[in-house]
Amino acid sequence: MCKQSKEEIAEKFQNAAKCIYIEIISALLVVGFTVLSTNWTKDLAKRYDENTVTPSDYTLYFRILPSQSDIFDKILYKKHLANSSRGQQFKEWMTHQLSLFKHDDLVKIVRTDLVFDNQKMIRLLR
């Protein structure tokens, strides 16, 4: 039978302990990177969804009556702002009002387009 000295056995235990420590550290690194990459992927997916318009986004159409337009002109339209047209001010006001729609949830408005009834103008072009 082969006998080993206490020093040889102690050295083998030290080598085994080093291997175990390396394996434990490797496993912790793998778990840590997995958790980080999962969180990063979720964050990237959220940012991608916020920055792109997809079919799951909503489109709202509003019909603004002439009386409502007159009220906007009387109360909210600021003629003295040289760099901001009436349409731009109306768009900003409408976007602000929609963002206040729900107080508890963040409503992100990606795009606001004003569409006017151009039927009379198109008829004039004929």
* pLDDT, tens digit (0-9, with 9 covering 90-100), for 40-76: 999 998 888 777 776 666 777 777 888 888 888 888 8
Provide the residue count of the chain. Answer: 126
Q: Which residues contact 87 (CB under 8 A, 6 or more apart)?
A: 114
Q: How confident is the model at residue 92 (pLDDT cuts 50, 70, 90)?
A: confident
- What's this model's pTM, rounded to 2 decimal places? 0.43
Q: Which amino acid is at 104?
A: D
Q: In whole angstroms, what is the distance from residue 63 CA to residue 45 CA?
A: 34
- Decide: helix, strand or coil at residue 75: helix
